[in-house]
A = this chain, B = another copy of it.
Amino acid sequence: MDQLDVLLWLALQEDLGHADVTSVATIPADLTGRARVHGREPFVLSGSHAFQRVFQILDDTTRVQCCFEDGQAVAAHAPVFELEGKVRTLLAGERTALNLLQRLCGVATLTRKMVEALSATPCRLLDTRKTTPLWRALEKQAVRHGGGYNHRFNLADGVLIKDNHIAAAGSIKEAVQRAKTQAPHTLRIEVEVDTLEQLDEALHAAVDVILLDNFSVEMLRRAVTRTRGRALLEASGGVTLESVHAIAQTGVDFISCGALTHSARAIDIGLELLG
């Protein structure tokens, strides 16, 4: 019993309603069978544990074997899972399991592509909090499976001072000062800046990390030069498969990209019962 199981259980209830009326009518309760899952395009696997749990929550005697490890590249049509159990169970879990798997493999696959685009640099690719509500843990894991890194998980495990915090505090200096006093000493202080002037202010305030929002590549280069290693630098905004390499070459430490989780296309994956 963990939090994931609770969410999967609620998701199953959403899809099952009070009963799978079609299967109850047409398939004997005890009929067992086997099924196979494969993609109709190549992809990076993620979500295999959740996929397995869906069926085991329905019936813990269901056998679900995964032929790959999360993070591995899978060829089109290669068998990814082999399942064995009651046919009613296989059909009852199919949609929920695939809905999750297709999305998570989509996130891992897009991340992998971006990571490969910047592979010659030491720059790390980060996710954001722009995730699907209630599935953040799985989506952030998919980013790691793709080769990316995680930004803070939620509002509690990182201090990120943005324009509204600065406005409320009166200045970057004052906002940083408050955060240093109030926030746990286990958290770094990160500030988001829009201009080089703000960058200077943040450096003066001796913050740990600076988020350069919507800086052009040229501006990023100047920011790196100006910072001289006094803070870690994170670039965000306008990050695409096309632009990511140039951004990384500016020398920033991190690039964060919301599209990894909010815009990854679902991978086309299907489950097939075997004769």
Chain A interface residues toward B at CB < 8 A: 1, 3, 5, 7-11, 13-28, 31, 57, 87, 91-92, 95-96, 98-100, 102-103, 124, 126, 129-137, 149-169, 175, 178-179, 181-188, 190, 208-209, 232, 234, 253-254, 262-263, 265-266, 273, 275
Q: How far is the CB of A221 from chain B (nearest CB, A)?
A: 21
B137 touches A18 (CB 8 A): yes
A262 touches B164 (CB 8 A): no
Q: How far is the CB of A260 from chain B (nearest CB, A)?
A: 12
Known: A14-B154, A262-B103. A22 touches B161 (CB 8 A): yes
Known: A22-B179, A182-B25. A16 touches B156 (CB 8 A): yes
- 4 residue pairs, one from A and one from B, having the closest CB atoms: A17-B156, A158-B186, A25-B182, A11-B133
A26 touches B168 (CB 8 A): yes
Q: How far is the CB of A272 from chain B (nearest CB, A)?
A: 9
A151 touches B25 (CB 8 A): no
A186 touches B175 (CB 8 A): no
Q: How far is the CB of A258 from chain B (nearest CB, A)?
A: 9
Q: Contact partner of A133 among B99, B136, B154, CB < 8 A? A: B99
Q: How far is the CB of A263 from chain B (nearest CB, A)?
A: 6
Known: A15-B155, A154-B15. A187 touches B185 (CB 8 A): no
From A35, which residue of chain B is reached at the shortest CB distance?
Answer: B164
A13 touches B3 (CB 8 A): yes
Q: How many copies does the complex hold?
A: 6
Q: In the assembly, what is the distance between CA of A19 and CA of B157, in Å?
A: 9
Q: How far is the CB of A268 from chain B (nearest CB, A)?
A: 10
A209 touches B186 (CB 8 A): yes
A168 touches B18 (CB 8 A): no
From A90, which residue of chain B is reached at the shortest CB distance?
Answer: B164
Q: In the assembly, what is the distance between CA of A168 and CA of B269, in Å?
A: 23
Chain B residues with Cβ under 8 A from A184's Cβ? 21, 149-153, 157-158
Chain B residues with Cβ under 8 A from A273's Cβ? 163-164, 167
Q: Contact partner of A17 among B157, B160, B266, CB < 8 A? A: B157
Residue in A18, A26, A92, A175 with the greatest tally of chain B CB atoms within 10 Å: A26
From A155, which residue of chain B is reached at the shortest CB distance?
Answer: B20
Chain B residues with Cβ under 8 A from A136's Cβ? 14-15
29 A-B Cβ contacts within 8 A? A1-B1, A1-B5, A1-B57, A7-B134, A15-B133, A15-B136, A15-B155, A17-B155, A19-B156, A21-B158, A22-B162, A22-B179, A25-B179, A25-B182, A25-B183, A26-B166, A26-B168, A26-B169, A26-B182, A87-B164, A87-B168, A95-B130, A99-B131, A132-B135, A149-B184, A151-B185, A156-B156, A186-B190, A263-B266
